[in-house]
Amino acid sequence: MLVTWRYRLRNGLMEKFDPRARWIFSLAFLFAVTMFWDARFLLFFFIIAFAWYFSSRAKWKETRRGWYLIGFILFMMIVINTIITGGGAGGVVPPGGHLVWPQGGTFPLFDWHFHFGLTWERLWFAICQVLRIGGISAIFLIIPYTMDPRVYGVTFRGLGLPDRFAYSMELAFRYVPTLARDFGTTLDAQRARGYEIERVKGGIVKQIIRIAPLIVPVTMNSILTGEDVTNAMDLRCFGTRPRTWLNKLTFHWQDYALIGFSIFMLVGAVIAIYGFHIGNFWVPYFWLKLAE
Amino acid sequence: MQKKSWKFGTREVVYSAIGAALYAVLSLATNWIQLPSAGNVSFRPAIVIPLFFGVVFGPIVGFIAGFLGNIISDLIAGYGLWFWWDLGNGIIGLVPGLIAVWMTTYKATKDIVWAEVFSVIGVLVGMGVASVSEMWVSGADINTVIFANFIPAIVPDLINGLILLPILLIAYAAIVKRSGR
């Protein structure tokens, strides 16, 4: 089994920023954008998100798998939320509104009359959902493609995570290729003994139990290895004083600028929503004119 | 030596990392294993890893195995980062970890039953938190959250977790007995 990280150096503008500054920006963006349902504000965030996304220089063929998943989730949400259930969209869209089919409709073959409660306001809400979720997705989808897995530990240590947690994170990233290799070896060994993972006979329970000969040896083997690693770390006095890290991170002027912008964005969002009471769900006049 | 629920020493650091890496690798590895009887439902047998690491090594190890393992798995698969779903996976490992101090032999019926009960609670709470977050992030209504997020998430997790957890606990009991650890 081949496990490869999605990261590779692309020399994009995004990579010029310190990973800590990028996390602060991403989280500030998430908290800021989730305060709004006004499409004008959401469009602003959407543009920022995709400007950020394209600064990575990641190609479509690299990221398309993630986008397909997001597209599927978004489609399901909008179809169920807006078209089928119309459940008030989490209390955002006011009740009532302008019906898309005020007279209802008739199934041509059976002559069944139906009343469909879809409103223009809910359709506009669906557009807002696309802008909001699309923006959030662009910010977070690009992280694995542009952030070196070797710096996750030191990054989160720099963001205030305790040493032990950050080290655990670092260790986990380093274990992945080893465990993937162990899994491949176990799979090959079991197959050599006549194990058939692809056998389709049996119900769900049998299918799941059939996976046990793979999961059990890999898990138990890694637990035994873990004891040795623990002993080795204890013998080297792990945790008795603050750690030093192989990769050092240093803030530069562009990182301070990004952090400043992140704070401005978040504080601005809070002031807009709680100070000026703007940014809540809003439907433009031209859209409601379509209902007439 | 007496067990402590919330201890996070060297052993816990190592097993958190192993649990997370294992959860990530097995999630990715079992993605390509087709379960024809399950239709289009996404099955993830690896969900047993945070449950198992929680029950055996405690709540912090269980939490990190689920939380970090889900992050790594998504990073490798290229799905980006979805904090609330990562948190939900962390809770799945944390809740069964609450009974780690009461575990005795791991293969006794009582131990297995309690592990299963807390695993069910962990899956319900973890996926509940993750699903409800969609109301805040995506503006989904409660019906969508229940039928499009919560139920499709808990059903495969419960089936996989409840079947595979006793198998892993019995295997672990044999290792404990043999190694005397």
Q: Render pLDDT for A13-43 as a digit per residue (tens, 0 to 9).
A: 999 999 999 999 999 998 899 899 999 999 9
Question: For residue B13, what are the contacts with CB-CB under 8 A and spacing of at least 6?
Answer: A164, A167, A168, A171, A233, A238, A239
Whole-number Cα distances in Å, A64 to A22, A69, A136, A264, B162: 22, 9, 16, 32, 34
**Within this chain, do residues A224 and A268 fall inside the same structural domain, yes or no?**
no
Asked if B161 contacts B62 with a C-beta cutoff of 8 angstroms, the reply is: no
- ipTM value, please give it: 0.90
Tokens coding A97: 């509104």
CA angle A159, A160, A163 (to 5 degrees): 115
- Interface check for A117 against chain B (CB to CB < 8 A): the answer is no
**Within this chain, do residues A44 and A111 fall inside the same structural domain, yes or no?**
yes
Within-domain flag for A242: no
Within-domain flag for A3: no
**Within this chain, do residues A198 and A59 fall inside the same structural domain, yes or no?**
no
Summarize the confidence of residues A77-90 as an average pLDDT: 64
Asked if A193 contacts A214 with a C-beta cutoff of 8 angstroms, the reply is: no
Q: What is the pLDDT of residue B23?
A: 94
Determine the Cα–Cα distance for residues A218 and A151; give it in Å rounded to an integer: 27
**Within this chain, do residues A143 and A268 fall inside the same structural domain, yes or no?**
yes
Determine the Cα–Cα distance for residues B136 and A32; give it in Å rounded to an integer: 12
Which residues on A lie below 8 Å from B78 (Cβ)? 6, 62-63, 65-66, 141, 144-145
Q: Which of B29, B37, B181 shows the shortest C-beta gap to A207?
A: B37
Determine the Cα–Cα distance for residues A19 and A261; give it in Å rounded to an integer: 15
- Interface check for A34 against chain B (CB to CB < 8 A): the answer is yes
Tokens coding A188: 């090959």
Within-domain flag for A245: no
Using left for φ > 0, alpha for ψ between -120 and 50, and beta otherwise, residue B132 falls in alpha
Other CB atoms within a 10 A radius of the CB of residue A31 amount to 13
Asked if A97 contacts A123 with a C-beta cutoff of 8 angstroms, the reply is: no
**Within this chain, do residues A125 and A168 fall inside the same structural domain, yes or no?**
no
**A142-170 pLDDT, tens per residue?**
888 888 888 888 898 999 888 899 999 88
Within-domain flag for A246: no
Record: contact B78-A219, CB cut-off 8 A = no
pLDDT band at A275 (very low <50, low <70, confident <90, very high): very high
Range of the domain at A268: 19-147+259-289
**Within this chain, do residues A129 and A270 fall inside the same structural domain, yes or no?**
yes
| H or E element at residue B27 | helix B10-31
**Within this chain, do residues A139 and A273 fall inside the same structural domain, yes or no?**
yes
Record: contact A176-B34, CB cut-off 8 A = no
Determine the Cα–Cα distance for residues A160 and A156; give it in Å rounded to an integer: 6
Q: Which of A199, A220, A235 is the last residue of a domain?
A: A235
Q: What is the pLDDT of residue A7?
A: 82
Closest-CA distance, B122 to chain A, in angstroms, reads: 20
Determine the Cα–Cα distance for residues A264 and A76; give it in Å rounded to an integer: 34
**A226-235 pLDDT, tens per residue?**
999 999 999 9
> Coil, strand, or helix at residue A99?
strand
Find the residue in B nearest to A205 (Cα): B163
- The 8-class DSSP code of residue A213 comes to H
> Is domain B10-179 classified as CATH 1.10.1760.20?
yes
Domain count, chain A: 2
Asked if B31 contacts B45 with a C-beta cutoff of 8 angstroms, the reply is: no
**pLDDT higher than threshold 80 for residue B166:** yes
Least confident of A82-96, A249-263, A269-283, B63-77: A82-96
Where helices occur in A142-246 by DSSP H, the ranges are 143-146, 152-158, 163-192, 204-209, 212-235
What residue ranges do the domains of chain B occupy?
10-179
Within-domain flag for A7: no
**pLDDT higher than threshold 80 for residue A131:** yes
**Within this chain, do residues A180 and A65 fall inside the same structural domain, yes or no?**
no
Within-domain flag for A154: no
**B89-111 pLDDT, tens per residue?**
999 999 999 999 888 889 899 99
**Within this chain, do residues A119 and A215 fall inside the same structural domain, yes or no?**
no
Chain centroid, CA B123 distance in Å: 8
**Within this chain, do residues A180 and A99 fall inside the same structural domain, yes or no?**
no
**Within this chain, do residues A81 and A48 fall inside the same structural domain, yes or no?**
yes
**Using a CB cutoff of 8 Å and minimum separation of 24, what contacts does A57-64 make?**
A57/A10, A57/A11, A57/A12, A57/A14, A58/A10, A58/A12, A58/A142, A58/A145, A58/A146, A62/A6, A62/A145, A62/B78, A63/A141, A63/A142, A63/A145, A63/B78
Q: Which of B81, B135, B175 shows the shortest C-beta gap to A220?
A: B175
**Within this chain, do residues A61 and A135 fall inside the same structural domain, yes or no?**
yes
Q: Which 163-222 residues of chain A touch chain B by CB within 8 A?
A: 164-165, 167-176, 178-180, 183, 187, 197-198, 200, 202-205, 207-209, 211-212, 214-216, 218-220, 222
- Of A173, A96, A249, A142, nearest to B80 by C-alpha is A142
Find the residue in B nearest to A175 (Cα): B21
Summarize the confidence of residues A61-87 as an average pLDDT: 76
